[in-house]
Amino acid sequence: MAAVTLKGVFKSFGSTRVVHGVDIRIEDGEFCVLVGPSGCGKSTLLRMIAGLEEISGGEIEIGGRVVNKVPPKERDIAMVFQNYALYPHMTVFDNMAFSMKLAGESREKMRQRVEVAANILGLIEYLDRYPRQLSGGQRQRVAMGRAIVRDPQVFLFDEPLSNLDAKLRVQMRTEIKELHQRLTTTSIYVTHDQIEAMTMADKIVVMNDGKTEQIGTPLELYDNPANLFVAGFIGSPAMNFLNGKLIRSEAGMQVQMVDGLMLPAPTSAEQEGREVVVGVRPEHLLVRSDGVHAEVVVVEPTGADTQIFCKVGGTDVIAVVRERHQFKPGEAIRLYPELTFLFDPASGKRL
């Protein structure tokens, strides 16, 4: 096991720079998730850690050793690919034992280690099958088994669950997390799904446009987003953004919402008169008689709670409430933002 450190890592393809100076420190045994929209550079970053992409600049350290020029096989890592990359002409056993076969291990040792991994993953009865004879979830397990067998310093996962159906994805998510708790191998996991990131990670790195937007634990990012991007990306349904203006009143600084509603704003006095973006999570919108005016568009009950899609002064807003309301489309209601985040509209920075 080992810590992984990225120092000012960037990557260019020709003249296009796709990763701009990324600094991340992943502690030994940590489960770190790189999350961001497609094309944000997260997969490229992972492939650079694996040694499949050349590093254009900066340094990557695995276990205190700079690996910029080290070929993949000597980095002591194992990778699980999005399409699993199982060798179709080899049985499950041969797939899992391939690295040991190349290393010239004895048949005895191969069987022993493959069986340990297969037991962990419930694959023991499939060892003689070919990948084509397995279901998606089983193939996924074989891909992980191939990684486990190598007993590497670091596990790398490149969107491993995106080819699975929704139900299986949730199940495998739990399995991977359980596996990590058991093996405690440093893991770096790339996904575009923020729920995967939130549920699995010890540490989340939110990436956008080849840059890190924020690094922190799942709840840190949720409770304390550093900017508009992170605020909008983390959380489901996504955070609502409304326009407001900061004014000073006898009660201190306040933010004035579209229809005149005043809310306390924890900012300094110099900000007076400034336009701001007010972020409110759907679950922090309460149906209350002193809230902002909203018009109900669609009501979606999910059983445990109800999602109310409405319009507030022309902006789409989602509220998630636990009470059961019988709202009709077009009905006028009032929503009170219980907790707000203020952002600078120009830079997107949290105020």
- The least CB distance from residue 136 to another protein, in Å, is 8
- The least CB distance from residue 159 to another protein, in Å, is 12
Asked if 35 and 194 touch (Cβ cutoff 8 Å), the reply is yes
- The least CB distance from residue 52 to another protein, in Å, is 5
- The least CB distance from residue 174 to another protein, in Å, is 23
| 266 CB neighbour count, 10 Å cutoff | 10
Site string for another protein, 50-89 (x = CB under 8 A): xxx------------------xxx---xxx-xxx-x-xxx
Asked if 62 and 154 touch (Cβ cutoff 8 Å), the reply is yes
Site string for another protein, 122-151 (x = CB under 8 A): --------xxxxxx----------x---x-
- The least CB distance from residue 71 to another protein, in Å, is 7
Instruction: Give the whole-angstrom CA distance, residue 163 versus residue 157.
Output: 13
Q: Please identify, using beta-carbon distances, which residue of 23 and 128 lies nearer to another protein.
A: 128
- Chosen residue from 70, 90, 168, 287 binding another protein by CB under 8 A: 90
| 273 CB neighbour count, 10 Å cutoff | 9
Restricted to residues 16-55, the positions that interact with another protein (CB under 8 A) are 50-52
Given the DSSP bridges, would you call strands 332-337 and 341-343 parallel, antiparallel or unpaired?
unpaired
- Chosen residue from 12, 56, 68, 99 binding another protein by CB under 8 A: 99
Q: What is the DSSP letter of 346?
A: T
* Residue range at the interface with another protein (CB under 8 A); choices 57-65, 99-107, 162-170, 193-201: 99-107
Q: Please identify, using beta-carbon distances, which residue of 105 and 305 lies nearer to another protein.
A: 105
Instruction: Give the whole-angstrom CA distance, residue 189 versus residue 37.
Output: 14
Given the DSSP bridges, would you call strands 252-257 and 262-264 parallel, antiparallel or unpaired?
antiparallel
What are the start-end ranges of the E strands in 192-314? Answer: 203-208, 211-216, 240-249, 252-257, 262-264, 275-280, 285-301, 306-312
- The least CB distance from residue 69 to another protein, in Å, is 15
Instruction: Give the whole-angstrom CA distance, residue 66 versus residue 268.
Output: 45
171 binds another protein (CB under 8 A): no
- The least CB distance from residue 85 to another protein, in Å, is 4
- The least CB distance from residue 17 to another protein, in Å, is 21
Q: Please identify, using beta-carbon distances, which residue of 45 and 310 lies nearer to another protein.
A: 45
Burial of 163 (0-12, 13-18, 19+ CB in 10 A): middle
Q: Please identify, using beta-carbon distances, which residue of 1 and 52 lies nearer to another protein.
A: 52
Q: Output the six-digit token pair for 216.
A: 């922190």
Q: Please identify, using beta-carbon distances, which residue of 13 and 87 lies nearer to another protein.
A: 87
Classify each residue of 283-310 as buried b or exposed e, where b means 16 or more C-beta atoms within 10 Å of its C-beta: bbbebeeebbbbebbebeeeeebbebbb
Q: Which residues bind another protein (CB under 8 A)?
A: 50-52, 71-73, 77-79, 81-83, 85, 87-90, 98-99, 102-103, 130-135, 146, 150
